Amino acid sequence: MNAVLKLLHHIQVHFNFRVLAGDIGFNVHTVFLNCINELGTDEQIAKWVPLAQNYNIIGTYAQTELGHGTYLRGLETTATFDMSTQEFLINTPKISAMKWWPGDLGRSATHALVLAQLYIKGKNYGMHPFLVQIRSLHDHSPLPGITVGDIGPKMGFAHVDNGYLFLRNIRIPLQNMLSRYSQVLPDGRYVKRGSEKINYFSMILVRVNMIGEVVVGTLTKACMIAIRYSVVRRQSEFKPGAAEAKILDYQTQQGKLLPQLATVYAFHFLCPYLLDYYNLVHHEIKSGNFKSLPELHALTAGMKALVTEYSTAGVEVCRRACGGHGYSMLSGLPSLYSYVLAACTYEGENTVLYLQTARYLVKCLAMGQSGQSLPQSVAYLTSALSRRCQARDKSDFLKTEIYLDAFEHRACRLIRGAASKVQALVHSGLEQYEAWNSTSVELLEASMAHCQYIIVKVFVDTVEKLNSDPGIHISLKRLCHLFALHWIRTNAGSFLHNEYISGNQLDMVTEIYLDLLLLLRKEAVVLVDAFDYTDEQLNSALGSYDGQVYQRLFEWAQKAPENHQVNSAYEKHMKPLFHSALSKL
């Protein structure tokens, strides 16, 4: 029954996110709750999860400090085991150790999962999660030894109270360290089960969830707004003497928006793939099998980086495609942009995560080259590379095997190239870390290429497996083709390298890409409406279903507070100036 309730709760939270456009507060309270579910013992889950689920307590995930967000081994908050009292002392030793950024911390949270370096008898055992009450449940005041507040204005996320937390030797019971995989025994012995990095595990679920619940939905809404607006907005003479054209009839507008629409579908299909794999590995880990954890980390780290980066760029393309009205807050697009932009930084800064994936790819390549079998998502690393793209005619680029081979070849080439450069630099006398840093730009590009190959492959596989209506199927295939060919065109240099794709073949790609734009132009509105966000969820004067853009812009503008306030600047400064001109006019 518990599994069913959990599933129902997840579905309810998912639809709350969807209905409230993801702008609900307490996102990090969910992170707090999930972390207890993943790293807590059954007893800790039984005690804390119902309280959190019923909002009898509000939690935050307090990991980042003023001085460290990325480098977790550098976190300075300490948790020192006091065997005489069977407690941990949680302490902020210096200002750079102050927790800074945790969401829901500034004004809401009563409890925090504080990620701190565990010390037992002077030895550091690394970062562990400690459950610390920070505010009174009676009057919400900070508890003794706690200094907590809001970090102030940010570029977006105004609806989240990101906060700071200073802890002065706060005592918590031994039972408050989440101990499913690592435990401190009353006599001070430390017991670890599974991976060294298991306490990093909860970040994986956040990365998977944020892609599905925050990032893809944001790009979807931006596409819906911009495409609906582009069939309402008429501008300029298309045919001399005829009526002004709908801006979506311009090939350039199609070239801006339809690849974003295809990207929405690609990322939409990626989400279940990632969640299914996460659930599979999480199930294995709970039974003590940690073998797939590195692959899961590498996959989700790279995907979080790539999906947030392309979604952020895509929302901005949609915003700019709406001209001046895209700059109005009433369009809803600037808010979508500042909302999704943060996702490139939180839950792992993108560059750092791409390099985590690169680290795994280089390791797997070495394993493959030494004859070891490779995990499924990287098995292609040891495949024989075809020398040339086999396309003979533009229609060949509508064959998924043709462009999949291009993505596989490119990823392989870039990973092998970066790995051998690191090796060569080491052989030339550089230390491993120097060689790695001197290759990290290429390693990042290799990591991106790997992620792009996986995403295109998941899109192709998903469409092939879908037994949908033939009309829907052809539309999804066209979107898949457009998505892949858009990425080939916008990354052309790395496909043209060593003549894998010739210049002539690239021209074929462009030709078939433009054909697809024309075909998908006819279906664009239906394809974007399919995501079925209501006007309330879109919250956009440009994207409402009835297309009454100008009426809505004017109506909403009239409601702006600026139009209902006394114009103090006039009374104080402008009026005397204007009146002095009266006698002269």
Ligand X SMILES: CCCCCCC/C=C/C(=O)SCCNC(=O)CCNC(=O)[C@H](O)C(C)(C)COP(=O)(O)OP(=O)(O)OC[C@H]1O[C@@H](n2cnc3c(N)ncnc32)[C@H](O)[C@@H]1OP(=O)(O)O
Ligand Y SMILES: Cc1cc2nc3c(=O)[nH]c(=O)nc-3n(C[C@H](O)[C@H](O)[C@H](O)COP(=O)(O)OP(=O)(O)OC[C@H]3O[C@@H](n4cnc5c(N)ncnc54)[C@H](O)[C@@H]3O)c2cc1C
The partner residues of 117 in beta bridges, in order of sequence, read: 78, 127
Q: How many other CB atoms sit within 10 Å of the CB of residue 370?
A: 7
To the nearest 10 degrees (0 to 180), the angle between helices 216-230 and 333-341 is 160
Task: Find out whether 64 is annotated in a ligand binding site.
Answer: yes
Task: Find out whether 252 is annotated in a ligand binding site.
Answer: no
The residue behind tokens 């070849």 is 409
Q: Residue 238 gets which letter from DSSP?
A: S
The residue behind tokens 């207890």 is 36
Per-residue binder mask for ligand X (CB under 6 A), 471-490, x = binder? --------------------
Catalytic residue list contains 347: yes
Per-residue binder mask for ligand Y (CB under 6 A), 161-200, x = binder? -x--------------------------------------
Please count the residues of the chain: 585
Pick 362 or 509: Cβ nearer ligand Y: 362
Residue span binding ligand Y (CB under 6 A) among the ranges 50-58, 62-70, 248-256, 382-390: 62-70
203 touches ligand X by CB under 6 A: yes
The partner residues of 192 in beta bridges, in order of sequence, read: 182
Gap between the Cα atoms of 375 and 379, Å rounded? 6
Minimum CB distance to ligand X, residue 95 (Å): 19
Binder to ligand X among 233, 268, 297, 409 (CB under 6 A)? Answer: 297
Per CB under 6 A, contacts with ligand X among 244-273 are none
Per CB under 6 A, contacts with ligand Y among 69-88 are 69-70
102 touches ligand Y by CB under 6 A: yes
Residue span binding ligand Y (CB under 6 A) among the ranges 116-124, 268-276, 350-358, 474-482: 350-358
What are the b/e assignments for 414-452, b being 16+ CB within 10 Å? bbbbbbeebeebeeeebeeeebbeebbebbbbbbbbbbb
The partner residues of 437 in beta bridges, in order of sequence, read: none
Minimum CB distance to ligand X, residue 421 (Å): 19
Binder to ligand Y among 30, 34, 37, 64 (CB under 6 A)? Answer: 64
In contact, 266 and 477? CB cutoff 8 Å: no
352 touches ligand X by CB under 6 A: yes
Choose from ligand X, ligand Y, none: what does 342 bind? Cβ within 5-8 Å by kind.
ligand Y
Residue span binding ligand Y (CB under 6 A) among the ranges 35-43, 57-65, 221-229, 365-373: 57-65
Pick 341 or 456: Cβ nearer ligand X: 341
Q: Which helix (H) or strand (E) holds 42?
A: helix 42-53
The partner residues of 114 in beta bridges, in order of sequence, read: 62, 130
Minimum CB distance to ligand Y, residue 113 (Å): 9
302 touches ligand Y by CB under 6 A: no
Q: Give the residue ranges of DSSP H helices in 170-250.
A: 201-210, 216-230
Binder to ligand Y among 51, 245, 352, 496 (CB under 6 A)? Answer: 352
To the nearest 10 degrees (0 to 180), the angle between helices 440-465 and 251-286 is 90
Gap between the Cα atoms of 264 and 420, Å rounded? 35
Catalytic residue among 347, 408, 445, 523: 347
Gap between the Cα atoms of 380 and 293, Å rounded? 19
72 touches ligand X by CB under 6 A: yes
Per-residue binder mask for ligand Y (CB under 6 A), 130-159, x = binder? ---------------------------x--
461 touches ligand Y by CB under 6 A: no
Pick 102 or 294: Cβ nearer ligand Y: 102
Question: In sequence order, what DSSP letters do the residues of 277-293 get, joined into one string?
Answer: HHHHHHHHHHTT--TTH
Q: How many other CB atoms sit within 10 Å of the CB of residue 264?
A: 26
Contacts of 406 (CB under 8 A, 6+ apart): 389, 488, 495, 500, 501
332 touches ligand Y by CB under 6 A: no
Q: Which helix (H) or strand (E) holds 183?
A: strand 182-184
Choose from ligand Y, ligand X, none: what does 213 bind? Cβ within 5-8 Å by kind.
ligand X
Pick 157 or 190: Cβ nearer ligand Y: 157
Pick 63 or 439: Cβ nearer ligand Y: 63
312 touches ligand X by CB under 6 A: no
Pick 333 or 342: Cβ nearer ligand Y: 342
Q: By Cβ distance, which residue is nearest to ligand Y?
A: 69
Gap between the Cα atoms of 130 and 176, Å rounded? 6
Gap between the Cα atoms of 548 and 546, Å rounded? 6
Pick 110 or 505: Cβ nearer ligand Y: 110
| Chain mean position to CA 461 | 23
Minimum CB distance to ligand Y, residue 202 (Å): 11
351 touches ligand Y by CB under 6 A: yes
Site residue total, ligand X (CB under 6 A): 31
Residues making up the annotated binding site are 64, 103
Residues making up the annotated binding site for FAD are 64, 103
* Residues that are catalytic: 347
